[in-house]
Amino acid sequence: LLPTFSSLPSEYSNTESSEDAGKQEIGRMSDEDEFHFYDTRQSFSDGVASPELKRRSKLPEPVEKERSVSLWSMIKDNVGKDLTRVCLPVYFNEPLSSLQKCFEELEYSYLLDRAYECGLTGNGLMRILYVAAFAVSGYASTDSRPCKPFNPLLGETYEADYPEKGIRFFSEKVSHHPMAMACHCEGKGWKFWGDSNLKSKFWGQSIQVDPSGILTLEFDDGETFQWSKVTTTINNLIIGRVYCHHHGTMNISGNKKYSCKLMFKEQSFLERNPRQVQGFVKDADGTKVASLMGKWDESMYCVVSDDASKLSSHISHQSAGATLLWKKNEPPADPTRYNLSSFAITLNELTPGLKEKLPPTDSRLRPDQRHLENGEYEKANSEKLRLETRQRMARNMQESGWKPRWFQRDSEHGT
């Protein structure tokens, strides 16, 4: 039998400071045990959802009263450090893993469906405009999300089958140090894949997150686009309301006629119109043929013109000829304290019959994450510490030649 997260040893669940615990655990775990836990090849089905499936619209009512914990007391000794390596209590987490967060960025996958259809009709310009809108839409879910997702264990996976969206998704944590994840998604006429390696630095009042990795979108007709994410900064960690903003330049390159450049404007205290995104599309000759504008937490518009002089950075969604490309979905009727979107609320759900079809490495089966979702905070924290102790084996496994089961490194392209 394949072990589940709950079957992992728990002798060292009360400490996270001793690496000796991890070493002793390694000694008790046989090569065969390790192989079975991480070899999930026989565990995946061709489909895990039904088109008639009704997904949940809210999280379970919490069992316990939420505990108030000072973030500053936990991270004050880590100024200037990479916080991806800092262990925090479960009270600062939301009930999702980083693998599930990768899938959450595909909430607006219909934009890629539209992009595919535009290409079929020969409208390559509208195709890249929808691709650009999709690249921005992935940031919408970060608005007012004060808690961090769970760090996956090495070899942890997440798969999702959403027939109502026409997409299937799979992701895996492929490296522990540096922490890296890979994902793959198939939709209606397109495939999307990428890798993510986040580096974060704590600067006292803020955290800066710098992502590395390349996202690739390939349509069935052979056209491909690639881009990388921009920097994210989380502010007011000590005093005030916590908020994040995304800033930097995103270049979307294609293998055919068009390319796109998007600028995520950096937010300041004096900014009256924050969270702006502006950009433009150029053809193969370098001529501007369209402008984009909007906000990453609201909507994106475009203006198309044969006259490049009409595509200045001063145009807005109220300009003549502006077309709506994407608009953020309405929040759920019963908002959670985590401010999850309606789509995010479904990501950790164990629908009827799903548990039996999932591999033991799936994020939905993490006991700490499940306890947190149920509002069982003490149990969640205990399980989180236990799994983090278990995770100390990961470095040793990597050094012993462990390899991901579902992805392989492309050394030529650095992905």
Q: Where are the domains of the chain?
A: 5-247+345-399
Place of tokens 């709950």: 6
For the stretch 234-290, pLDDT in tens is 888 777 778 889 999 999 999 999 999 999 998 776 667 789 999 999 999 999 999
Position with higher pLDDT, 173 vs 48: 173
Give pTM, 2 decimals: 0.84
For the stretch 355-395, pLDDT in tens is 999 999 999 999 999 999 999 999 999 999 898 887 777 66
Residue 160 burial (CB count, 10 A)? 22
Residue 27: exposed, middle, or buried by beta-carbon count in 10 A (0-12, 13-18, 19+)?
Answer: exposed
Q: pLDDT-based confidence at 30, cuts 50/70/90?
A: very low
Per-residue DSSP letter, 362: B
Residue 233 burial (CB count, 10 A)? 17
Pairing of strands 207-212, 215-219: unpaired
For residue 27, pLDDT beyond 90: no
pLDDT of residue 182: 96
For residue 314, pLDDT beyond 70: no
Place of tokens 């088109």: 51
**Angstrom distance (rounded) from CA 214 to CA 392:** 28
**Angstrom distance (rounded) from CA 139 to CA 296:** 6
**Angstrom distance (rounded) from CA 327 to CA 295:** 10
